[in-house]
Amino acid sequence: MQSTHTTASPVEVGVGPVSFDDLVRVAREGAPVTLADDALDAIDRARAVIEELAAAETPSYGVSTGFGALATRHIPVEMRAQLQRSLVRSHAAGSGPEVEREVVRALMLLRLSTLATGRTGVRRGTAQLMADLLSHGITPVVREYGSLGCSGDLAPLSHCALALMGEGEVRDASGTLLPAAEALAAVGLEPVELAAKEGLALINGTDGMLGMLVLAIADLRMLLRTADVAAAMSVEAQLGTDRVFAPELQAIRPHPGQALSAANLTALLVGSGVVASHRTGPSNTVECNRVQDAYSLRCSPQVHGAARDTVEHAATVAGRELASAIDNPVVIGDRVESNGNFHGAPVAYVLDFLAIVAADVASISERRTDRFLDKARNHGLPPFLADDPGVDSGHMIAQYTQASIVSELKRLAVPASVDSIPSSAMQEDHVSMGWNAARKLRRSVDGLARVVAVEVLTAARALDLRAPLTPAPATAAVVALLRRSGIEGPGPDRHLSPEIEATVDLVQSGAVLAAASSVIGELA
């Protein structure tokens, strides 16, 4: 979802970390940004240290020297403004399609958050201009390729720093592409002339990969609960048993995500006439006459739960990174110290881990969908859920679409973080490729939403075909949502792609999850 400039309440950036919710508000909802007093004080204190070092005769890396493999050259005072300009211009070397607006806003906010810690040595006016760009909805054009995820996301952040200098291209709040100088002037802002250390401070961070990680976590938390809804619909419409989701069975394997997912499935299936129709025992309430469903049905909580636990591990890592001050060198007390905190390995690893999660949850979703279409396995439903099998193909090719996406997701699950190509004349001889891991995760999250959407669409059709048996109130609410949205029930073949895309929108917007939750309360 792309952000737009809004009148939302501002997010205040202080010395402490930005929260997940505030990052999403700024990135996706266009919330403006202000700098807290403690941040301004910290910025001023650090700047005083830099000014003192800049005036000294002894070279100080990042203040009065070149960068990377060129760090051995001492730069005279009269050339230091040019040093900063040259650094930003040369490092703004990205290529390819524009990066999404929400990603650029996220990385700008995170860079501002690091500036606010008082560890980088920028002037308060430079930090304020970064906040002003966010508040006015001015978004620098950042290109897809260029970051190795070490020394930070250098190229993407350099494109943002270039805009602070009044150079390069940006998009204004309306999305219009124009030169940065024009966009700044249009809202009464003036570009900065970067002083000692500022160019390096603006570009040396893990902000791009971290911003994409936080956004992916927000999406996956919603999508995994939506996958529980889809799984419940599939278990129900395929005459599966809900007994396997009982809490006492989850307790003997105490993974927290598994218990939450199983509890969701149980709650979603409460009151199902379909489930009740194949129970045996007193009052038809005890056992199902089929107690060994296929793994894709029976093991849904185990897979969805492991995915949840992995997402929460990634959130822990993201939380630590949000609390970090990523720059090199950094201001420590009255001195500047070189360090390696810009290396993106901690973030890159969990970005890759989440791509595995997306691929596997999509894979089990596709398997549940496929079972609906095979007459030998769907327990009395027509082949491919077709109206007139042979004349009609029903959802045959919808499953092809799922299979195509799942195959792509498996490729995207191959880790980027195990790769490294040396750079900067072997000074930077091991890199994280975290930016690349983040870019492919965004595609993975989108693919997962599409696969789950096809399962929801197919399961809704199957539940209609089970009439006069009635689904559970929660799953019935999802079916009703689809029908209200113009997605028709069973019938002769029709153009299916618009129905798939409409269901994807309902999944990605959270509407499917909200429909189920409106009946039984918020899912765990």
Six-digit token pair at 128? 């304020």
pLDDT at residue 103, rounded to an integer: 98
Query: What does the pLDDT average to over 54-62?
Result: 79
| Res. 516: pLDDT tops 60 | yes
For the chain, what is the mean pLDDT?
Answer: 93
DSSP type of residue 10 = P
Under the banding of pLDDT at 50, 70 and 90, the label for residue 2 is very low
Q: What is the 3-state secondary structure (H, E, C) of 254-292?
A: CCHHHHHHHHHHHHHCCCCHHHHCCEECHHHCCEECCCC
329 preceded by cis ω (within 30°)? yes
Q: Is 143 helix (H, G, I), strand (E, B) or coil?
A: strand
pLDDT at residue 44, rounded to an integer: 97
Given the DSSP bridges, would you call strands 177-179 and 279-280 parallel, antiparallel or unpaired?
unpaired
Q: Which amino acid would we find at residue 427? A: Q
Residue 176, Cβ density class (10 Å: 0-12 exposed, 13-18 middle, ≥19 buried)? exposed
- How far apart, in whole angstroms, are the C-alpha atoms of residue 427 and residue 443? 32
Percent of the chain with pLDDT over 90: 84
- How far apart, in whole angstroms, are the C-alpha atoms of residue 3 and residue 22? 13
Under the banding of pLDDT at 50, 70 and 90, the label for residue 5 is very low
pLDDT at residue 56, rounded to an integer: 81
* Distances 321 to 113, 325, 350, 420 between C-alpha atoms, Å: 11, 8, 12, 21
Q: Are 382 and 489 in contact (CB under 8 A)?
A: no
Chain segment 474-488, per-residue pLDDT in tens: 999 999 999 999 999
Domains assigned to the chain? 11-205 (1.10.275.10), 213-520 (1.20.200.10)
pLDDT at residue 152, rounded to an integer: 82
- How far apart, in whole angstroms, are the C-alpha atoms of residue 414 and residue 436? 11
pLDDT at residue 284, rounded to an integer: 46
Under the banding of pLDDT at 50, 70 and 90, the label for residue 69 is low
Query: What does the pLDDT average to over 347-372?
Result: 98
DSSP type of residue 17 = P
Query: What does the pLDDT average to over 34-57?
Result: 93
| Res. 70: pLDDT tops 80 | no
Under the banding of pLDDT at 50, 70 and 90, the label for residue 278 is confident
Q: Is 250 helix (H, G, I), strand (E, B) or coil?
A: helix
Q: Are 144 and 95 in contact (CB under 8 A)?
A: yes
Q: Are 365 and 227 in contact (CB under 8 A)?
A: yes
Chain segment 293-309, per-residue pLDDT in tens: 999 999 999 999 999 99
Nearest 5°: phi and psi at 156? Answer: -60, -45
CB count within 10 Å of CB 133 equals 25
468 preceded by cis ω (within 30°)? yes
- How far apart, in whole angstroms, are the C-alpha atoms of residue 245 and residue 243? 5
| Res. 4: pLDDT tops 50 | no
The region of weakest confidence among 43-47, 66-70, 191-195, 305-309 is 66-70
Q: Are 154 and 68 in contact (CB under 8 A)?
A: no
Residue indicated by tokens 């750079």: 423
Q: Which residue has the higher pLDDT, 406 or 431?
A: 406
Under the banding of pLDDT at 50, 70 and 90, the label for residue 27 is very high
Q: How far apart are the first and last CA of the chain?
A: 24
Which helix (DSSP H) or strand (DSSP E) does residue 161 occupy? helix 154-164
Residue 299, Cβ density class (10 Å: 0-12 exposed, 13-18 middle, ≥19 buried)? middle
| Res. 119: pLDDT tops 50 | yes
Q: What is the 3-state secondary structure (H, E, C) of 72-117?
A: CCECCHHHHHHHHHHHHHHHCCCEEEECCHHHHHHHHHHHHHHHCC
Q: Are 181 and 166 in contact (CB under 8 A)?
A: yes
CB count within 10 Å of CB 432 equals 28
Six-digit token pair at 500? 């798939």
Give the residue numbers marked as catalytic.
61
Q: Is 197 helix (H, G, I), strand (E, B) or coil?
A: coil
Q: Which amino acid would we find at residue 105? A: R
Query: What does the pLDDT average to over 504-508?
Result: 98
Residue 494, Cβ density class (10 Å: 0-12 exposed, 13-18 middle, ≥19 buried)? exposed
Query: What does the pLDDT average to over 160-182?
Result: 98
Percent of the chain with pLDDT over 70: 96
Query: What does the pLDDT average to over 255-277?
Result: 97
Cα angle, residue 276 at apex, residues 271 and 279 outer, rounded to 5° = 145
Under the banding of pLDDT at 50, 70 and 90, the label for residue 290 is low
- How far apart, in whole angstroms, are the C-alpha atoms of residue 347 and residue 410? 20
Nearest 5°: phi and psi at 161? Answer: -65, -35
Beta-carbon contacts of 402 under 8 Å, excluding residues fewer than 6 positions away, are 362, 365, 366, 369, 370, 450, 451, 454, 455
DSSP type of residue 299 = T
Under the banding of pLDDT at 50, 70 and 90, the label for residue 138 is very high
pLDDT at residue 279, rounded to an integer: 77
Q: For the CA atoms of the chain, what is the radius of gyration?
A: 27
Under the banding of pLDDT at 50, 70 and 90, the label for residue 288 is low
pTM of the predicted model as reported, rounded to 2 decimal places: 0.95
Residue 239, Cβ density class (10 Å: 0-12 exposed, 13-18 middle, ≥19 buried)? buried
Chain segment 447-465, per-residue pLDDT in tens: 999 999 999 999 999 999 9
